[in-house]
């Protein structure tokens, strides 16, 4: 089974060349499913959702989408508090269809919040209710079906003690480890990674996809090709610049999607990738 794991397409600041290349790869290679782990838009504007919906609906594959922090109303605070997911769910209903993969289920886990008791609301948060919802879905799977948990924020990150990227993430990972999920796939940080996190209940594989937007962090636009068989999952980070996968994978989960830079260094200009025709097979 091949699943193309895309993330952070960020319509409003999308990279048209990267999107065209990814759509062509999907049309040519016909993966069994496409899993998009959030941040469909830049500012959750109606026109951005409409553009994302049109692009996703034109893909020649069954698709799942998760909600990202950029998909909650940004300018309309009233709507953000009273109906934070209405815009996203309207699009999700037009995009998703039943995914029928033998022995494998994509289980969503929500990591976004309309507000948090901290200044940075872009960070993740796994509420008890959201975790219970995902755990119930996993526990209800037919015998022998394995779960690939899909969420927007990586559930843990390195080097940010006290300002955790995702609150409740460690607890969630421990519960998922007990259920021996195949992996947790996510986005948000705009670089790809493939790591194993140790919890008290055992290890959990964490796989992150980069971005197909112009909002790149330290690697060119990319998506992950996940190949699933009896041995587990293999990850190939596909990118227009043909950078080998080991060089595309960052060694730790970064704190956010901002480009890394030295102290005092000005913010780097947006890096444009060269437009290259996709290889013909
Ligand atoms: Fe993002
Ligand atoms: Fe995000």
How many of the other CB atoms lie within 10 Å of CB of 85? 15
Cβ atoms of 121 and 113 within 8 Å: the answer is yes
CA of residue 258 to ligand 1 center, whole Å: 10
Q: How far apart are CA 109 and CA 131, in angstroms?
A: 7
Ligand whose nearest atom lies closest to the CA of 41 = 1
* Ligand (nearest to CA of 123): 2
CA atoms within 13 Å, Cβ hemisphere of 144? 4
pLDDT digits (tens, 9 = 90+) for 177-210: 999 999 999 999 999 999 999 999 999 999 999 9
pLDDT (0 to 100) of residue 279: 44
Q: Which ligand is closest to the CA of 122, given by its number?
A: 2
Q: Which ligand is in closest contact with the Cα of 14?
A: 1
Mean pLDDT of 12-17: 97
| Residue 151: per-residue pLDDT | 98
When pLDDT is averaged across residues 141-165 and rounded to a whole number, the result is 83
- For residue 152, the CA-to-ligand 2 centroid distance in Å is 7
Distance 150 CA to ligand 1 centre (A): 15
pLDDT per residue as tens digits for the range 235-269: 999 999 999 999 999 998 887 787 765 555 444 43
Q: 228: CA distance to ligand 2 center in Å?
A: 26
For the CA of 66, the nearest ligand: 2
pLDDT over 70, % of the chain: 89
Average pLDDT, stretch 74-92?
91
Three-state SS for the chain is CEEEEECCCCECCECHHHHHHHHHHHHHHCCCEEEECCCCECCCCHHHHHHHHHHHHCCCCCEEECCCHHHCCCCCHHHHHHCCCHHHHHHHHHHCCCCCECCEEEEECCCCCCCCCCCCCCCEECCHHHHHHHHHHHHCCCCCCEEEEECCCCCCCCCCCCCCCEECHHHHHHHHHHCCCCEEEECCCCCEEEEEEEECCEEEEEEECCCCECCCCCCCCEEEEEEEECCEEEEEEEECCCCCHHHHECCCCCCCCCCCCCCCCCCCCCCCCCCCCCCCC
CA of 154 to the centre of ligand 2 (A): 10
Question: What separation in Å is there between the alpha carbon of 72 and the centre of ligand 2?
Answer: 10
Residue 61 CA to ligand 2 centre (angstroms): 24
pTM of the predicted model over 0.85: yes
* 190 CA → ligand 1 middle, Å: 6
Residue 261 confidence (pLDDT)? 55
Dist. CA 41 → ligand 1 center (Å)? 8
Please give the distance, rounded to the nearest whole angstrom, from the Cα atom of residue 77 to the centre of ligand 2: 18
Whole-angstrom distance, CA of residue 149 vs CA of residue 136: 12
Is 3.60.21.10 the CATH number for 2-248? yes
Q: How far is the CA of 41 from the centre of ligand 2 (A)?
A: 10
Distance 31 CA to ligand 2 centre (A): 25
What's the gap in Å between 229 CA and the centre of ligand 1? 29
Ligand nearest to the CA of 151: 2
Q: Which of 92-96, 155-159, 164-168, 217-221 ranks highest by mean pLDDT?
A: 217-221
Which pLDDT value is given to residue 278? 40
């Amino acid at each position: 089974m091949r699943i193309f794991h895309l993330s952070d397409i960020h319509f409003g600041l999308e990279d048209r060349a990267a999107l065209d290349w990814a759509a062509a790869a999907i049309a040519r290679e016909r993966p069994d499913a496409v899993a998009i782990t959030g941040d469909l838009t830049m500012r959750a504007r109606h026109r951005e959702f409409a553009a994302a919906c049109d692009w996703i609906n034109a893909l020649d594959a069954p698709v799942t989408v998760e909600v990202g922090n950029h998909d909650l109303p940004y300018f309309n605070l009233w709507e953000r508090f009273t109906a934070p997911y209405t815009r996203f769910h309207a699009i999700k209903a037009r995009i998703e269809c039943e995914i029928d993969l033998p022995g494998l289920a994509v289980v969503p886990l929500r990591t976004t919040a309309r507000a948090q008791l901290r200044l940075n609301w872009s960070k993740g948060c796994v509420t008890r209710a959201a975790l219970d919802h995902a755990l119930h879905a996993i526990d209800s799977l037919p015998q022998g079906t394995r779960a690939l948990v899909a969420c927007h924020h990586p559930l843990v990150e390195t080097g940010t003690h006290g300002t955790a990227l995702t609150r409740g993430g460690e607890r969630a990972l421990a519960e998922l480890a007990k259920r021996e999920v195949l992996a947790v796939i996510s986005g948000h940080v705009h670089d790809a990674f493939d790591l194993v996190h140790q919890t008290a209940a055992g290890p959990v594989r964490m796989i992150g996809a980069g971005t197909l937007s112009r909002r790149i962090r330290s690697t060119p636009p990319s998506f992950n090709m996940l190949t699933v068989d009896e041995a587990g999952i293999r990850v190939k980070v596909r990118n227009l610049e043909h950078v080998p996968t080991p060089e595309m994978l960052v060694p730790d989960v970064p704190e956010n999607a901002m480009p890394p830079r030295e102290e005092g260094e000005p913010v780097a200009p947006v890096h444009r990738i060269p437009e290259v025709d996709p290889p013909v097979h």
